[in-house]
Amino acid sequence: MNNVSNRTANPCDDEPPFAINNIRNQEVFGIILYSVLTFMATISMLVFLEECVYIYKKVPANKKSVIIWVNGAAPVISTMSCIGMWIPRAVMITDLTSATYFAIVVFKFLIMMLEEIGGDEAFLKRSSKHKLKISTGPCCCCCPCLPHVAITRRTLFLLKLGSFQFALLKLIFTLLSIILWTNGNYNQQDMSITGAAIWINPFVGILTVIALWPVTIIFMHLRITLRTLKIIPKYAMYQLVLILSQLQTAIINILAMNRIIACSPPFSSPARGYMLSQQLLILEMFIITLVTRLLYRRQYEPLPEEEPGDNENTKLTTLTVSA
């Protein structure tokens, strides 16, 4: 009886409700909202599946996999957010799944840019007389004095490795987080020095920054060369997914953990923050899915060969090697 009275007296300290209780507590507006958002998530996934069929039939074999991976970022996040919306206690699992998928997308986007120019060999051939500008975000945008780096196989390998490490280590840390969570040792709201989250999350953040750097370097190098392939709006959509799924979610969760977002029984403040984050992501990823469909569902023609002295459509954006 004492435990029951304590939980009733402090509803804002309760865990998220079970799925059935969440459904039963919904009013008319809540039912309509959940239905509309579920419809959006479903449409996002259907659009993605239709796009996969088109890419499988129309796109060259070397580009199929990476384009499908990159296109799947918004629909996958939308679907995971929809599951988390209906099943509040599964939010940690759905968030980790979305974050792990996007970690792979970071690497795949870099590979996609290389494949769009013709692959590693074509990139090295086109770039043999050029250098890479490494003073770019998110790591070194404030260091314009950094030297330009020659483009070699070793340089390209290090750039790939910088993004691949995030895809691999994020998967490992996700599995570790789930294992610790099942044992009661991992709680995203526990920011104490003895909690696992305070050690895992900052380290994953550092890995994220390191992984984004090579993608930005390659993009800045190829943005003019791949302009006809709409690489700039594609990169903008990729960055938008990153900001919304990572930064926006983190801000909302921090506000909720500090009780700035008020509790609304049966949802505590953190649980309500997670819920608002999932609902926003469904709407945002639905819009991004429609935009990316316009960008990627097209005929894929090979780029023209770079001609000597051609300084317009096929020139690269970095400085040439000085004599």
Average pLDDT over residues 288-316: 66
Q: Is the peptide bond before 265 cis (omega within 30 degrees of 0)?
A: no
Q: Residue 315 domain-assigned?
A: no
Residue bearing tokens 């691949």: 164
Reported as type and span, the H/E element at residue 231 is helix 231-242
Alpha-carbon gap, residue 268 to 259, rounded angstroms: 9
The pLDDT of residue 11? 58
Alpha-carbon gap, residue 279 to 204, rounded angstroms: 24
**pLDDT tens digits for range 231-279:** 899 999 999 999 998 888 888 888 887 778 777 777 778 888 888 999 9
Give the rounded percent of residues in the chain with a pLDDT score beyond 90: 28
Report the chain's mean pLDDT, rounded to a whole number.
81
Q: Residue 317 domain-assigned?
A: no
Q: Residue 128 domain-assigned?
A: yes
**pLDDT tens digits for range 83-124:** 999 998 888 888 889 989 999 999 999 999 998 888 888 888
Q: Residue 14 domain-assigned?
A: no
**Segments of 46-184 assigned E as strands:** 131-132, 149-150
**Judging by beta carbons within 10 Å of its beta carbon (0-12, 13-18, 19+), is residue 147 exposed, middle or buried?**
exposed
Residue 7: band (very low, low, confident or very high) from pLDDT cuts 50, 70, 90:
very low
Q: Residue 67 domain-assigned?
A: yes
- Give the CATH number for residue 126: 1.20.1070
- The Cβ-side half-sphere exposure at 14, using a 13 Å CA radius, reads 20
Structure tokens at 149: 């780096």
Beta carbons within 8 Å of 175's beta carbon, 6+ residues apart: none
The pLDDT of residue 258? 79
The pLDDT of residue 38? 94
- What residues pair up with 130 in beta bridges, in sequence order? 320
Alpha-carbon gap, residue 241 to 186, rounded angstroms: 26
The pLDDT of residue 262? 76
The closest alpha carbon to 276, from 121, 36, 81, belongs to 81
Residue 314: band (very low, low, confident or very high) from pLDDT cuts 50, 70, 90:
very low
Q: Residue 54 domain-assigned?
A: yes
**pLDDT tens digits for range 138-172:** 666 666 667 777 788 888 899 899 899 999 999 99
The closest alpha carbon to 286, from 50, 34, 77, belongs to 77
Q: Residue 4 domain-assigned?
A: no
Calculate the alpha carbon distances from 81 to 40, 126, 206, 222 in Å.
Answer: 11, 42, 24, 33
Average pLDDT over residues 177-192: 79
**pLDDT tens digits for range 50-63:** 999 998 888 888 88
77-91, 125-139, 286-300 — most confident range: 77-91
Q: Residue 187 domain-assigned?
A: yes
Counting the structural domains of the chain, the total is 1
Sign of the dihedral through C-alpha 181, 187, 188, 192: negative
93-101: Cβ within 8 A, 24+ apart: 93/178, 94/278, 95/249, 95/274, 96/174, 96/177, 96/178, 97/174, 98/245, 99/170, 99/174, 99/245, 99/246, 100/170, 100/171, 100/174, 101/72, 101/73, 101/76, 101/77
Alpha-carbon gap, residue 57 to 36, rounded angstroms: 32
Q: What is the extent of the structural domain holding 102?
A: 26-300
The pLDDT of residue 68? 92
The pLDDT of residue 322? 37
Number of Cβ within 10 Å of residue 255's Cβ equals 15
Burial 25-60 (b: 16+ CB within 10 A, else e): eeeeeeeeebeebeebbeebbebbeebbeebeeebe
The pLDDT of residue 103? 92
